[in-house]
Amino acid sequence: MGERRHEVTRRRVFSAPRALVWALVADTNRWDRASALTPGRYVWRVVDGVRVRTATARELGFNIAWVEPPYEWVEGRAIAGERRFLEGPVTRGGFEAHLSDVDGGTEVVASAWVVGESFLSVALGPVMHFRFGRSLDVFLDAIARVLSGEEGGDGDSAEPAVTRMRRALMESYDEVTSGERTPSDLQELSLRARRLEPEVGADMASRLVSLLQDRPDEEVAQIRPFELSRVWQQDRREVLRAFLYATRAGLVDLRWQINCPVCRVSAGVAESLEEVQNSVHCEACNIDYDTDFGQHVEAVFQCNPAVRQVHPRVYCASSPGFLPHVYAQLSVLPGETVEHSADLPVGSMLLRSLRDPRSTDLEIVEGAMSLDVVVRADGIEARARPPSDEGPGIGIANHGGEPVVLLFERSGWNADAVLGSVVASFPDFLDLFATEAPASGVELSVGNMTILFSDLTGSTAMYERIGDARAFAIVEHHFQVSDKVVRDSGGAVVKTMGDAIMASFPSPAEAVRAALGMVEANRESFREHGLSMRLGVHAGPCLAVRANDRLDFFGTTVNLAARLESKSTPGYLVLTEEKAAHPAVAELLGDRPREAFDAELKGIKEAPRLVRVRLREDPLPPAPEG
């Protein structure tokens, strides 16, 4: 018996922008869920000498197993996915959709199909035909309901349509597109919420409780506070702060997701920083990479199981919805030339091969343009050309001897992620999770962190003049005032040492803003005691470590920041000439008096040229008598 194909096709017109329609239609994870398919148990295996994603499930009373080759898509245009069954009544099955502009909106032609060659597959044909037809109707009807409230154009192409639609879905609920919503323990939720409200306020606490009670499992299983802040239209730092306090109240749990720098998806999740290791293996890319705490480690939150038992399920691991930064993923056989319609997003892109290091950078400029891509055994070439009569597109010629899967990725776009570099300079994290730190002996790289050191001058004379008790209280007050300035500037005090402060910041501009504020606050509150401050700021790579059972930072950047502070004088900030020239820093410092100088820095072999900037406008008054 030959192969028999059972296929169902539906056409539908939606009065919404094509990119947003695609973001829903092309999410094959939602489609498989709407089709009432069983979630798969996914693993990576080598099949016929090729490493592929495989899955197993039980469907219609049968044990089934399949290989899931990389799906193909072009954002806003088309999606095609296929499963090749290793076990079960059919041999292949898939879903595809094509989108085009029509009067009144976007036309979608969507098809679901299976192919079989056994008598059983023929007998099941009418059942699958009915099931696919009904599922397509349910799926497309749900999309119409979601899109009914969406207006406007395609929006900023720098942001993937998938993420824009994800936020839109977070403001409504539809069982088909949003998925399962398991019930909450309302008594436990209310009890724990009462612990939260005094810390974050009634409005923020109410928002968070509603999220945990009403939103679907997939949303509360992996909560990104910065993404949620855009939906709620609230300050992102305040939303992050609320989730940190909600963790302490037992409403949510903090998890550390380690994202692969190549495919940009999760390669693992740790329940504490102590479980995060120096290197991680990504199954999808089959590579090992060194963990950068600042860039690869993301703080995510999930509903505490005592409040609600959530059960997120993966129905299709190959969905474009899991790879929002990938604008297009296309397969080309050796010797083959293909052409795809494409509205290339303006900005920087990375074009790379899925299974090897071949890659090239692209810069897409304003205006419709097309790309010609040539794949060879030793590399990839791409050049722009005017669009054809059919419009802009991507042409690919594979001159290599092997099939290739190409990914067109937005290299200038990043998700709304709370990365380690943010957490490490967030004061509430350091306050509430004092013992959350890497395991003893583990040094996690932080690709870039700004460190500020300050030291209080004149305190020794003050102790001698007014006595230890009074002087100690004044120094403690100085720490409190400085801590508030650091927090308000976007940083966190890591530790105090004697009269000195070490603080961390995401960027040099925030650290310099804090330095200005600290000197001004000191002038207003402590100048009568003859106190002043000297400061040093530096930025660069460092190491996140456990020291005295707390998160701390070490390395050349930290050492250099401390050395710069030692070369400062009361009322001055010292930083490198390079950092002083940074546009944001230069704007903050304005025309304040400064001098460039060279100095030997202990432990630093090649000391950079330094700049000393005067931050205080008026001299200190004479020290008080007695």
**So where are the chain's domains?**
4-168, 182-303, 325-410, 443-614
Helix (H) or strand (E) run with residue 395 in it: strand 393-398
DSSP 450: E
DSSP 326: E
How far is residue 423 from each of residues 244, 261, 411, measured CA to CA in Å? Answer: 10, 19, 23
Confidence of residue 119 (pLDDT cuts 50, 70, 90): low
What local confidence, expressed as pLDDT, does residue 117 receive?
77
Rounded Cα distance between 218 and 134, Å, is 24
Which range (46-50, 242-246, 297-301, 559-563) has the least confidence?
Answer: 46-50
Mean pLDDT value across the chain? 90
User: Which of 288, 340, 320 minimizes the C-alpha distance to 410?
Assistant: 320
Cβ atoms < 10 Å from Cβ of 553: 22
Would you give the distance in Å from CA 386 to the centre of its chain?
34
Whether the predicted pLDDT of 621 surpasses 50: no
- The yes-or-no answer to whether 4-168 and 182-303 have a common fold is no
CA neighbours closer than 13 Å in the CB half-sphere of residue 136: 22
Whether the predicted pLDDT of 587 surpasses 70: yes
Helix (H) or strand (E) run with residue 58 in it: strand 50-59
Helix (H) or strand (E) run with residue 383 in it: strand 379-385
The yes/no answer on whether domain 443-614 falls in CATH 3.90.1300.10 is: no
- What pLDDT, in 10s, does the model give residues 444-498? 888 889 999 999 999 889 998 999 899 999 999 999 999 999 999 999 999 999 9
Q: 602: which residues sit within 8 A by CB, 6+ positions away? A: 563
Confidence of residue 626 (pLDDT cuts 50, 70, 90): very low
Tokens of 282: 């990504």
Calculate helix-pair angle for 468-488, 459-466, nearest 10 degrees. Answer: 140
What local confidence, expressed as pLDDT, does residue 120 receive?
64
Pick the CATH number of 182-303 from 2.30.30, 1.10.10, 1.25.40, 1.10.8: 1.10.10
Amino acid identity for residue 449 in this structure: M
Share of the chain above pLDDT 90, in %: 68
- What pLDDT, in 10s, does the model give residues 258-311? 999 998 889 999 999 899 998 999 988 889 999 999 889 999 999 999 999 998
What local confidence, expressed as pLDDT, does residue 579 receive?
94
Confidence of residue 391 (pLDDT cuts 50, 70, 90): confident
Which range (115-124, 541-550, 580-589) has the least confidence?
Answer: 115-124
Q: 319: which residues sit within 8 A by CB, 6+ positions away? A: 26, 27, 28, 29, 30, 71
Helix (H) or strand (E) run with residue 468 in it: helix 468-488
Share of the chain above pLDDT 70, in %: 95
Place of tokens 């499963």: 83
More confident residue, 194 or 311: 194
CA angle 120, 125, 130 (to 5 degrees): 140
Classify 130 as helix, strand or coil.
helix
Average pLDDT of 141-164? 76
CATH of domain 4-168: 3.30.530.20
Beta strands in 75-202 (DSSP E): 78-87, 92-102, 105-116
Confidence of residue 22 (pLDDT cuts 50, 70, 90): very high
What local confidence, expressed as pLDDT, does residue 155 receive?
46
Rounded Cα distance between 163 and 236, Å, is 17
Tokens of 252: 């949510």
Question: Counting beta carbons within 10 angstroms of the beta carbon of residue 383, is it exposed (0 to 12), middle (13 to 18) or buried (19 or more)?
Answer: exposed
Average pLDDT of 332-351? 94
- What pLDDT, in 10s, does the model give residues 177-192? 888 899 999 999 999 9
Whether the predicted pLDDT of 150 surpasses 80: no
What local confidence, expressed as pLDDT, does residue 48 receive?
80
